[in-house]
Amino acid sequence: MANPLTSQAGPKFSIPTELRQRLIFVVLALIVFRLGTFIPVPGVNPEAMLQLMERQKGTVLDLFNMFSGGALERMSVLALNVVPYISASIIMQLLASMVPSLQALRKEGESGRRKITQWTRYGTVGLASFQSFGVALALQAQTLNGGGGVVVNPGPGFVISCVIGLTAGTLFLMWLGEQITERGVGNGISLLIFAGIVAGLPGALIQTLRQVGDGQLAALSAILIGIIVVLTTCFVVFMERGQRRIAVNYARKGGGDRGYNNQSSHLPLKINMSGVIPAIFASSFIMFPATLASMGNLANNPWLTRMSAMLSPGSVLYLLVFSLLIIAFAFFYTAMVFNSQETAENLKKSGALIPGIRPGKATGDYVDGVLTRLTGVGAMYLVAVCLLPTILQTKFGVPFYFGGTSLLIVVVVVMDFTAQVQAHLMSHQYEGLLKKANLKNYGRRGLVR
């Protein structure tokens, strides 16, 4: 006789084979990415490069170095990371929202999307070549206090090798990100940026612990900072999942004498529709004067030096300009990625309407008004989160990794990755239920005529 406790026990949890293979592929791809960050560009003095990056603390180069997982300070072939690809994608999105021919191409479906993707790749090659050429010239112009240069043998040979190496590294990462998206789980480009940021977290944590051990940072302050980071993470998760659901009714013609059957649904609008793009753009713009003031012949420019000092982190002007930039980019990017009038036309074509609002332009104006208020709240949320690292740095001297743009990217990528893993698990469970109920065979015998 079977044990009743054993017979009532549920099935053991197991990861589907397909999902396991996808997860393994993601892990291997990220390992390849991390190994690539240690392959240097020929002709660069590594010690001089580290000294140069020490002078660039708090500039846009420091931000890009964080995104690349330290590849920039090592002058790896992956130093440009996926920044040219992201820039090309944003440019194509801008053009697709303004150029009529690209708007028509975007509406063609899969074929149009492939064409836009192909042009984005061409744009990535152009931007990567241009940026790597600028990097090569900038490195040749850098000299250290001892008189030595960052480049061992300056000249056309170094410029050509640097352009080829950095461009090839960016294209490899673009290909690797697409492979992760297709064969793995989650968005490949986002996961590469996520891996670069997370790679610097252990060093930042060790630096904080050393400050506590040396007495530079009180233990109570470190505990308080940890609590702030945890609460901020919870706040980011709450806001990123926040939605405003607009009720939508669909009128469907019923059979016989039933007339019209109203079906209710909703139009979900995220609080933060623009994602982390406003934070990245605002950080780049606010750090640009400091970057120019610390490079080459511009280092002694009095106007740039004064502007860099006025925009130093923690100053009132820095907080004000940074906040205004985030708000401006949030509204701009939201308007670019979401067309209220187009959404209203799609609702009208599908026979849907918002209760109390006339279809067409009135619906578009109503959705636009709701989205404007949501974007205002989302922009304030981005400002609050992005100002956190400035406060932690100026008050406690905590590394930049704890908060701001890096925390936003990490949390958003982890949420998207978790959602896709859950989607794979749910689809596997549904397939198991269909097999148990033998619905597939029933469909072949009873539903197919």
pLDDT digits (tens, 9 = 90+) for 101-135: 887 887 777 788 888 889 999 999 999 999 898 88
Q: How confident is the model at residue 327 (pLDDT cuts 50, 70, 90)?
A: very high
Model pLDDT, residue 299: 52
Model pLDDT, residue 9: 46
- Residue 167 · residue 124 · CB < 8 Å: no
Domain ranges of the chain: 16-199, 222-449
Question: Is the model more confident about 404 or about 248?
Answer: 248
Question: Is the model more confident about 439 or about 182?
Answer: 182
Model pLDDT, residue 433: 60
> Cα(18)–Cα(169) distance, rounded to whole angstroms?
29
CB atoms within 10 A of CB 185: 21
Question: Is the model more confident about 12 or about 23?
Answer: 23
Q: Judging by beta carbons within 10 Å of its beta carbon (0-12, 13-18, 19+), is residue 409 exposed, middle or buried?
A: buried
Report whether pLDDT(7) > 80.
no
**Among 39-43, 46-50, 243-247, 424-428, the least confident range:** 424-428
The class that CATH gives domain 222-449 is mainly alpha
Whole-model pTM: value is 0.80
- 3-class DSSP state of 187: coil
List the CATH code of the domain at 16-199: 1.10.3370.10
- Going across the sheet that includes 243-253, the strands are 260-270, 243-253, 352-353
pLDDT digits (tens, 9 = 90+) for 339-379: 888 888 888 888 888 888 888 888 889 999 999 999 999 99
Tell me if 16-199 shares its fold with 222-449: yes
Report whether pLDDT(4) > 50.
no
Model pLDDT, residue 251: 67
- Mean pLDDT of the residues in the chain: 80
| For residues 4-13, average pLDDT | 47
Q: What is the DSSP string of 105-143?
A: HHTT-HHHHHHHHHHHHHHHHHHHHHHHHHHHHHHHH-B
Q: How confident is the model at residue 448 (pLDDT cuts 50, 70, 90)?
A: very low
CB atoms within 10 A of CB 22: 20
> What values do phi and psi take at 91, rounded to 5?
-65, -40
Model pLDDT, residue 25: 94
pLDDT digits (tens, 9 = 90+) for 56-92: 776 667 778 888 888 888 889 999 888 889 888 888 8
Share above pLDDT 90 across residues of the chain, in percent, rounded to a whole number: 18
Report whether pLDDT(176) > 60.
yes
**Among 112-121, 166-175, 273-282, 285-294, the least confident range:** 285-294
- Amino acid occupying residue 344: A
> Cα(382)–Cα(236) distance, rounded to whole angstroms?
9
Model pLDDT, residue 124: 92
- Residue 394 · residue 412 · CB < 8 Å: no
Model pLDDT, residue 426: 83
- 3-class DSSP state of 289: helix
> Cα(190)–Cα(432) distance, rounded to whole angstroms?
31
| For residues 211-238, average pLDDT | 83
DSSP state of 386: H
| For residues 34-48, average pLDDT | 89
DSSP state of 269: E
Model pLDDT, residue 259: 47
> What values do phi and psi take at 354, rounded to 5?
-90, 130
Model pLDDT, residue 164: 94
